Structure 1
Amino acid sequence: MSSTTKILIINADDFGYCPRRNAAILDLFRRQAISSTSLLINGDYASKAHKLATLHHMPIGLHLNLTEGRPITTDLNRISSLVDAYGMMHGKMGLRNAIDQESIDMTHVEYEIEMQFRQYRQWTKNEQYPMHIDGHQHIHIHPMLAECIARQASRFNVKYIRVPFDQAILTMSNPEPFYQTVVEQACNARTIFNRYGLCYPSYFIGLTTMGQAMTYDNLERRLKMFTLDTTSNITELMCHPGYPSDTSIGGCGTGQPDEFSCSFDRQHEFDLLFSEEFRQLLTKYNIHLGTYADVDQCYK
């Protein structure tokens, strides 16, 4: 590739959540419209998803989940602070609030992370660990969790990690507070990840292009900004494509998919990524699809 070529990793999150999610992500990969996927390890259809990825040689990472549904750990006494009275994890904001209240035992967090890595390894033919990791609802960059996640990643020989430092948030006059916090935490997490030798694309797109916000014009603006950035030749586009879930099939150990999963937003992302117009957009800006293995060039 020439020096002006830009590389785009398109990673589809939440693989394993339900059959229709699995089917949509696989359809995109077979069209060469995405690069890789991240496995929601406690998803109701995670085992089947992993088999599909193996069958079709789709690069797959681990979507660490510490917030939603049932944990992988079966002995809940080992992670009692991480779950409620019903054995469910505390939720996107519930876990964050519990951490702020200092009611989470970090040894419980580390144990659940370890169990998720070991579950992933158990499903692989050669007992391999994932190539890359990211966090469900961006929990992996939380300042109280980033260190233990990086430590476990290093322990299990994971080389690549997502850093959702979406520069578009910095240009917005009134960004959603949650995503502003994500960007701030991502910036700080880089120092921790660097210390553990974890690698990541230095550019990221995704916080401002989810659901109905994933439009052709919006993506073109973001990709054009990326091509004009002289500090990075590789970026990740985070996406959440899927066919809308059946209302009673799927979830994270609950058998009940959430509203976003059943909505048209997932289909909307799928349709755009699958379109010929999006393929032409990448050609227009001389952008080629790559994988996390291409991140190595940023560290040479």
Structure 2
Amino acid sequence: MRQLPLRFIHTSNRSLANPITRISLYGLVGIVAAIVHAGVLLGLGLLMPLWAANPLAFLAASIAGYLGHARFTFRPETGGQRFARRWLVIQYVVNLSVCGVLPLVLPAAVPNMVRVGILVFTPTVLNALIWSKAARFSAKQRRRKQQPRIHADDLGLSEATNNAILQLASAGKLDGASVLVQGPAVSQGVAALKALQAERPDLQLCLHLCLTEGPCAALASAIPDLINQDGYLKLSFGAWLSLSLLPPMHPRRQRISRQLHEEVLAQIARYRLLCSDDAPLHLDGHQHVHLVPVVHDCLVRVSRDQKITWMRNTSESFPTGLALRWWWDAIRQAGLLKWIVLEVLSRRAQRKQQRLGIASNGGFAGVLFTGQMAGPPLRAAHQTLSALPARANRTQPILLAHPGAPLSRNLMDAGFSVSQPFAASPWRQREWQALQEL
């Protein structure tokens, strides 16, 4: 769609609310949509019959109107965000139906000029009603929006991670942290954060279920397939995902599922002991392993007995306003691939959780630019989450980061070989600084 003049883009909300300004913007967007319709129709008309090209051209025009009216005409109601997609579907279906049926039902006695006026202005009036309704719906949703919670993973992984998390929480820059119960610095980290909770009861602690590295929590003799000769958990995210592809009755899957059950219960018990907490449990996963089907199924089975009432959802909307170089970084760092995998797993997990009444967050950011949540990606993610409406059985959106001070120990000595390069990266300090400034 052709860009509207900058003087319209930067118009204040007060002037946008002026009826004359709004009518002018509505007309401009309508003209742009008509140009899009004509251009697409002429282009497609060279490749296919006009009767087939016209619905596609009309769809392109509808999309232009959908975006233009949300961004400009009804900006006071939408805040510049898109309408809910249902309004595009409604507008397209209604207009196609009316344009197809109206010429057939108009009486032959209607004068030609009147007939043309009805055919031209009926869709215009219907569109005005539909987009106005969409704008009121957007305004209502915006009034129900919630600010995202800023959350940090890996409390207990190291003193460096603990220091950054505690400083941010103390400064009011962090709303929660996930506890790595077998981390080498977990006791000190949890004790300090629990002390902070006396001043900030809203600080949320979660169990950060870890199945890919670090010491096991269950007896080594009970989980021989999950650990290496040093007693460290050895199955990678990919290995757990591959295991999930085996049939449920496959001997290997059944055997490891039994051992997984032991380790999950042991980590929950360790978490409750560390946190002196028998309250309903909030849970997520180190490297998001809790979403892998074989793991998630185990968590669902024990959820009632272990009082698991919330599990993290990583379904992440694309942030807007980012330069292409950031998207190239997301592709190059495998963030986009990870996003695709976790999007599929999150949707599967969410369906199961909803049936059991297990809540989750109503939005998420932290996969696409994982490990590099600073600068424009952090600000864009925060802005995108801030625009999300509240949803039933969903808590506030979560913005996930991994802040840390400079690492002073070798985590490989404690069995966290996967986390060692991640925790040693200068990005940990960049994320720490960015969260302080957010």
Alignment of 1:116-155 (within 5 A): 116-125=267-276, 127-129=277-279, 131-155=281-305
In the alignment, structure 1 residue 10 sits paired with structure 2 residue 150:
yes
Alignment of 1:3-42 (within 5 A): 3-42=143-182
Q: Give CA-to-partner distance per residue, 1:248-267, whole Å, 9 cap, x none.
A: 3x469437661111111111
List alignment gaps of at least 5 residues for structure 1. Answer: 279-300
SS at the partner of 2:217?
Answer: coil
Alpha-carbon distance in structure 2 between the residues aligned to 1:27 and 1:148: 35
SS at the partner of 1:56?
Answer: helix
Q: 1:140 to 1:206 in 2, by over 3 A?
A: same
TM-score (norm. length: structure 1): 0.80
Alpha-carbon distance in structure 2 between the residues aligned to 1:36 and 1:158: 17
Aligned-residue offset at 1:4: 4.8
1:86 corresponds to: 230
1:291 corresponds to: none
Deviates more, 1:253-262 or 1:53-62: 253-262
- The AA in structure 1 aligned to 2:380 is R
Aligned-residue offset at 1:217: 2.2
Q: Give CA-to-partner distance per residue, 1:171-192, whole Å, 9 cap, x none.
A: x796632331111100110011
2:359 corresponds to: 199
Q: 1:252 to 1:114 in 2, by over 3 A?
A: farther
1:218 corresponds to: 377
Give the number of the structure whose residues are more often helix, by fraction. 2
2:350 corresponds to: 190
- The AA in structure 2 aligned to 1:107 is R
**Counterpart selection for 2:195 from 55, 65, 83:** 55
Deviates more, 1:145-154 or 1:264-273: 145-154
1:44/1:255 contact within 8 Å kept: no
- The AA in structure 1 aligned to 2:433 is D
Alpha-carbon distance in structure 2 between the residues aligned to 1:98 and 1:4: 41
2:62 corresponds to: none
Q: 1:94 to 1:143 in 2, by over 3 A?
A: closer
Q: How many residues align?
A: 270
TM-score (norm. length: structure 2): 0.56
List alignment gaps of at least 5 residues for structure 2. Answer: 1-141, 198-202, 320-326
In the alignment, structure 1 residue 239 sits paired with structure 2 residue 401:
yes
Aligned CA-pair RMSD: 2.7
SS at the partner of 1:106?
Answer: helix
Percent identical across equivalent pairs?
Answer: 22
1:62/1:130 contact within 8 Å kept: no
Q: 1:87 to 1:269 in 2, by over 3 A?
A: same
Higher relative contact order (CA 8 A, sep 6+): 1
Aligned-residue offset at 1:93: 2.9
Alpha-carbon distance in structure 1 between the residues aligned to 2:386 and 2:177: 24
SS at the partner of 2:343?
Answer: helix
2:314 corresponds to: 164
